[in-house]
Copies of this chain bind each other. A is one copy, B any other.
């Protein structure tokens, strides 16, 4: 474990799963006219504190940069706990007319919260990966339509991930600081509720605090309506790791398995090169999947065990007899069913 409490190192398998979720989500957000953006990680104190309820909700959780080089900074800089305040600062410059609306942006990034409760890897961290969407609309009606659109997009992602959930409207005391209402996506992990995503329909406090106005068709200046929303990639991954496993190890939905197919060559004396060549030919036919050909010195049994633990969802074995018959042995990770199929 790393030396900063509540902060994780992502290695390959976890990153593959996160990238896969991120790809699906970003594609759908961009189809729904969201512009990808990337804001700086630092937020000046005065911008973070512009909306009073919002900062009250986060002030015990913010990491502050106060020094740079050997200097004390004139103005403290926050590591973003979430990005409403910098995004709205720019919205107030980018939005002029009704023609600029709707304006929808999203970014995949890390956010920082100094959790005082006990931290738990992926579930309650001080740095976590998420995607955040921020949108501005002419009126409440358009904002409500956006909430529906995002419910569809998040629902599709969660279905793809085979994660069951319920949407709860949070009570007043538990909603996002500055929101008119908050919808939360809750699932269960070890018998406890885990919030994996939220959608907030904001009151006009933010558009007033940041002075985000547009000129409508008749030349009147009006405040925009804002929504913001985000799923936590870390928690989605935590759910998968917790649920999709059995006594032998991980058992992910095929689409998200870090290794989808493992090829295990079965060597007999003196035929190593032939078997490897045969396996490489098979690997080339499977380029659309994440395939590993395990050429290590371990025994086949050790390899089976290793790859079951890591959740390779399909194992293909090939030895001298299979080459003769132009076949391979295929074993599914989930049902453990074994069958011989033709190579082609």
Q: Are B60 and A63 in contact (CB-based, < 8 A)?
A: no
CA distance A3 to B16 in the complex (A): 34
Q: Are A38 and B9 in contact (CB-based, < 8 A)?
A: yes
Asked if A167 is at the interface of the complex by the 8 Å CB criterion, the answer is no
Q: Are A37 and B11 in contact (CB-based, < 8 A)?
A: yes
Q: Are A69 and B65 in contact (CB-based, < 8 A)?
A: no
Residues of B within 8 A of A38 (CB): 9-10, 15, 129
Q: Are A127 and B42 in contact (CB-based, < 8 A)?
A: yes
Given contacts A7-B42, A15-B38, A90-B2, contact A69 B61 (CB under 8 A): yes
CA distance A26 to B69 in the complex (A): 32
**In the complex, which residue of chain B has the Cβ closest to the Cβ of A58?**
B69
Residues of B within 8 A of A8 (CB): 40
Asked if A266 is at the interface of the complex by the 8 Å CB criterion, the answer is no
What is the oligomeric copy number?
2
Asked if A67 is at the interface of the complex by the 8 Å CB criterion, the answer is yes
Asked if A101 is at the interface of the complex by the 8 Å CB criterion, the answer is no
Quote the shortest CB–CB distance from A340 to chain B (angstroms): 32
CA distance A9 to B40 in the complex (A): 6
Asked if A164 is at the interface of the complex by the 8 Å CB criterion, the answer is no
Task: Tell me the A117-175 residues at the B interface (CB within 8 Å).
Answer: 127, 129
Residues of B within 8 A of A7 (CB): 40, 42
Q: Can you list 18 A-B pairs, Cβ within 8 angstroms, ordered by A?
A: A3-B44, A3-B89, A4-B42, A7-B40, A9-B40, A11-B35, A12-B35, A15-B37, A15-B38, A40-B127, A41-B79, A41-B112, A60-B69, A61-B68, A61-B69, A63-B65, A66-B66, A66-B67
- 11 additional A-B pairs beyond A9-B40, A69-B114, beta carbons within 8 Å, are A2-B40, A4-B43, A7-B42, A8-B40, A11-B35, A41-B112, A41-B127, A42-B63, A61-B68, A61-B69, A64-B68
